[in-house]
Structure 1
Amino acid sequence: MKHIIIICLLINCLSLTAQNIDDLSFGTESTLDIVTWNIEYFPKNGQATVNYVIDIIEALDVDVLAIQEVENINDFEQMMDGLSAYNSYLESVWFAGLAYIFKPDVIQINSIYEIYTTSEYWSYFPRSPMVMDLNFMDQRYIIINNHFKCCGNGILNINNTNDEETRRYFASNLLKEYVDTHFSDENVIVLGDLNDNLADIPQNNVFQMILDDSENYLFADYEIAAGNSSEWSFPTWPSHLDHILITNELFDKMEDIQTIKVDEYLTGGWMEYDGNISDHRPVALKLAVDDNLNVAKVDKPKKYFSNYPNPFNSETVFSFSRRTSSNKIEVYNMNSQKIASLNIPKGQSSISLNAEGFSNGIYIAKLLSGTNVIATRKLIIMK
């Protein structure tokens, strides 16, 4: 009898804590919410996949999804018929499975087109990058959807043009060149299944040129890639292959970045997800659309308070005007806990912060005069 009671209690406990797709959430009305998702030869399991994906997209309630690996256009269009709040785009000169799904009520499309489509770029881009030029809440954004060449041995052999890592290396640098040339002062988001690891050592890192330009570019998901494998987007390997890169215009607007572990909301877990939906998890980015980070009330950087480099590894230097009566800088984590305090000597216009003991992530620096906060600065630490 005692055993029966224990079993019943366990069943009741499980029923109280069980999650389903309806419990998924990410998007909000006050943020721009973007997802990249390799949907693996859609539909992987026919009508069952169509039904699952409709439920997932409706639950996430995001503004834009950049999709890779659409295999069947008719099934994709059938799925869109079930998503009344969304429109889609998947036209292509040489269709390679890239698509966008977006909310037309809030997303105004200026244009959608492909780049690097000619034969000289086919080795680097077996699927031509798809650019979406849009407006959201009266602000312009450029999103570039990609699916890089897969596979390789993890070694970048720059002298072998057929080497998979080399092909991804040149694809990354061509995208950077395109953004630098055409969108140097725009809100740009480059995303997709980029099929390589952000945290590789520099000599084998296909993204190293972008990582080195930390003043202008940030992989929003770098902390995920360098962190625990439980958060990675491709558990089968396991590895983290699906990335979101942003330009410096968006550094201070990043509110959240996460791998959406849909499998944890299914009764059958990863086996159910992998068998019916995809072998990749979606990765989602949340961007503030006002001047402040809602979670920390962070002002846009003032000309009299800045730091360089940012993002940084272990040390950054704050600069500020001597005309301000500032006498202290305090650094807080995203839980509003003060973790450092720097006293500024009288007449000094710069001071360094040693962050050797800090973990990867986002921090807030406050410039104070007495107890008054003069300005705030968002810090991004990437190790």
Structure 2
Amino acid sequence: MVKLTHILLLFSLSLFPKDSFIDVITTNDLHGFLGDQDAHFMNPNFPPKIVGASALYKYIKDIESKMSDRSNDILILDGGNFFQGHPLGIIDSGKTVIEWMNKVGYDAIVPGNNDFLFGYENLLELSEQANFPMLGCNVKYEKNDKLVFEPYKIINIKGVKVGLIGLVNPDISETVLKKNLDGLKIDSSLDSMNFWISEIIDDVDIIILLTSSGVPWDRDKIYDDFVSNYKKTGTFNKNLNSIELGYFSDEVDLIVSGGISKGYNTPWYDKNSHTYIFQNYGNGTSFGHFYIKFDPETKLFTGYKSAVTNSISQTLFLDDFSYDINMYNWLKEKNNLSVKDVYSKVDWSSVIKPDGKDNFSKTTRNQWDFPNINKLNGLEIITWNCEFFPTNGDSTINALSEAIIELNPDIIAFQEIKKRGWFSKLMTHLQDYDFIISQQSSFMDQAIIYKKNLFDLVGRKELFAENDYFFAGRPPLQCDLIYKKNNEILSIINLHMKCCDSGLNRRKLAANQLYDYLKSQLNKSLSDQYIVLGDWNDDLKDKPGEHCFDNFLKDDTMFFPTYDITYDLKQASYPKEPYVSFLDHILISNSLVQNKNYSVQTLPFDDYMGSFNVYEQYISDHMPVLLSIY
């Protein structure tokens, strides 16, 4: 691969003005969504139907049927995060998604952050099942510096040697639980890219970088800020996102990206390196189709062309695409079985493993004086939105771990976990607790920690992951526990509703889903003792119709203990002007407090830490809310 930078080459190309083409099909961030789905993001009340992977399968097979060499004349690539999310991808740790990719005829994929959900060993097992390589030139074994995945693949297509280099997002240590990366090292993305380009450049005509580093949502601003800082300081972080990589990709013709479910109808064009960067919307809603243009004599890359007018990306609407009926039925069966498994009865006789791993650090900090809120023979449970955790890196870890140890609650439900890897770090300081954390969220996680000497974990699930739009991509996390002292059962559901006035309708629809689940599915598991808590993003003081609580308030089998303090502005869980409000609520079944007492309070961390500004700097802009049952 050599770009058209030399006058001699430009002159020679002018003698052969007619370009030839290679079809390229791309997907990214499928998150296990292969079946049909309703496009609530377009119209929540009357959503159009997206037919999904059975239509993409037929689309590709129809193209291949018109080619002289069928599947050998088309390039099919995926940019990562292929199975985590939908129950179909989770139920067998990605095997069904790989089986579908085999049927489609993918040429290569690169793992994304979320593909390490069950550890790299699972990815190696999936790569054995796949009829195509899983590429990753920057992931190595720590003990011997050998590569875990193949670094590249060279494909001869229409007489052109196309070099595919796979590059895994180097920031996975930030977003993946530490136990799932034990034994691995992730090299610099820029250094790895440059090294493997030098290894293959003399053997190929065109180079494509396949990466899960992600094109960000605000790509123009991110790029401008990056270039401005680089020109000003001459320095940069070598672990780059896809458009930042593009700035240095002089020898790369195309970057096919995944890692973020934001799609663009036109590729990013880097004026410095003259590299094109492609990324589609995720969750099985769309795919990319474009043509690589090349000169038939020199085999050099001359540009790209969209397969449809004005867009490299297409949305798989039922109105626009036909589908293969056999593939549709196969996926429908897989989809139904996976969803049925989510809502099966809890087996209260079993014990399952939490997400933690016994690898603890000694904590002897005493920077603040937090009270012990634990009542003897009681249950203390906290809901805590830890804004963009960790909001202040190691300072957050130190402050929060000290607070938890000294407060000594039995259970905490956390929301807004931005970086799973850092949550692993927090838990190394909390040797008395085990935890589970979201496996299927697409936009920040929830986590539940509990005292390991008090509870056995018997079940976990994420509700509505098959249709999580109303929950803003954050399926409620259910944790089923048995209290060891008396074998009492308890189901905890941790949620984080869509924010802001614009999200009210989605919160109402999400609340309807949740209420129906509590009244039907949860009762089937014989758990009439439940706690639903988290950031509801509505205030119980709001007028009827202006919040999402109506169904719960009308039901005399459940109630909000937090209602007792909602009108006390000093206990507002979100105390920032001008939006002082009580957003973090706890809903419980009546049976949980039968013949018992309870108390509820917003913990005054502004007092504990000296001021709200200090608390916000270290931990969050939401105050934790405590329920005690005794």
What's the TM-score once normalised by structure 2's chain length? 0.39
> Do the aligned partners of 1:173 and 1:210 also contact (CA within 8 Å) in 2?
no
> Do the aligned partners of 1:20 and 1:265 also contact (CA within 8 Å) in 2?
no
- 2:512 maps to 1:173: yes
Q: Which residue of 2 aligns with 1:80?
A: 427
Q: In the TM superposition, what is the alpha-carbon distance from 1:101 to its structure 2 partner?
A: 1.2
Where does 1:31-70 land on structure 2 (aligned, <5 Å)?
A: 31-70=378-417
Distance 1:283 1:265 in 2: 14
- 2:498 maps to 1:149: yes
What's the TM-score once normalised by structure 1's chain length? 0.64
Q: In the TM superposition, what is the alpha-carbon distance from 1:37 to its structure 2 partner?
A: 0.3
Distance 2:544 2:470 in 1: 23
Q: SS where residue 68 of structure 1 aligns?
A: strand
- 2:449 maps to 1:108: no
Q: Which residue of 2 aligns with 1:232?
A: 572
- 2:561 maps to 1:220: yes
Q: Which residue of 2 aligns with 1:261?
A: 604
Q: Which residue of 2 aligns with 1:126?
A: 473
Distance 2:379 2:536 in 1: 22
Q: In the TM superposition, what is the alpha-carbon distance from 1:20 to its structure 2 partner?
A: 7.4
| Closer/same/farther in 2, CA of residues 166 and 23 from structure 1, 3 Å limit | same
Which runs of 5 or more structure 1 residues have no equivalent in the other structure? 1-18, 153-162, 289-383
> Do the aligned partners of 1:49 and 1:276 also contact (CA within 8 Å) in 2?
yes
Distance 2:597 2:604 in 1: 20
Q: SS where residue 441 of structure 2 aligns?
A: coil
- 2:620 maps to 1:278: yes
Q: SS where residue 37 of structure 1 aligns?
A: strand
Q: SS where residue 55 of structure 1 aligns?
A: helix
Residue-pair matches, total: 256
Greater strand share, 1 or 2?
A: 1
Where does 1:268-347 land on structure 2 (aligned, <5 Å)?
A: 269-288=611-630
Q: In the TM superposition, what is the alpha-carbon distance from 1:91 to its structure 2 partner?
A: 4.1
Amino acid at match of 1:233: S
Amino acid at match of 1:144: I
Could you tell me which of 577, 580, 589 is aligned with 1:247?
A: 589
Q: Deviations over 1:137-169 (max 9, x none)?
A: 3100010000000001xxxxxxxxxx5111111
- 2:533 maps to 1:186: no
> Do the aligned partners of 1:90 and 1:100 also contact (CA within 8 Å) in 2?
yes
Distance 2:536 2:559 in 1: 15
> Do the aligned partners of 1:88 and 1:101 also contact (CA within 8 Å) in 2?
yes
Q: SS where residue 240 of structure 1 aligns?
A: coil
Q: In the TM superposition, what is the alpha-carbon distance from 1:264 to its structure 2 partner?
A: 0.5
Q: Deviations over 1:197-233 (max 9, x none)?
A: 11212132321121111x11101100211x2211111
Q: Sequence identity, in percent?
A: 33
Q: Which residue of 1 aligns with 2:31?
A: none
Which runs of 5 or more structure 2 residues have no equivalent in the other structure? 1-365
Q: Which residue of 1 aligns with 2:376?
A: 29
> Do the aligned partners of 1:116 and 1:125 also contact (CA within 8 Å) in 2?
no
Distance 1:73 1:165 in 2: 28
| Closer/same/farther in 2, CA of residues 282 and 272 from structure 1, 3 Å limit | same
| Closer/same/farther in 2, CA of residues 33 and 78 from structure 1, 3 Å limit | same
Q: SS where residue 127 of structure 1 aligns?
A: coil
Distance 1:66 1:254 in 2: 21
Distance 2:395 2:603 in 1: 20
Instruction: Name segments (4+ residues, structure 1) moved above 6 Å.
Output: none
Distance 1:254 1:190 in 2: 18
> Do the aligned partners of 2:533 and 2:585 also contact (CA within 8 Å) in 1?
yes
Amino acid at match of 1:175: L
Q: In the TM superposition, what is the alpha-carbon distance from 1:246 to its structure 2 partner?
A: 0.5
Distance 2:609 2:503 in 1: 35
> Do the aligned partners of 2:478 and 2:492 also contact (CA within 8 Å) in 1?
yes
Greater helix share, 1 or 2?
A: 2
Q: In the TM superposition, what is the alpha-carbon distance from 1:126 to its structure 2 partner?
A: 2.4
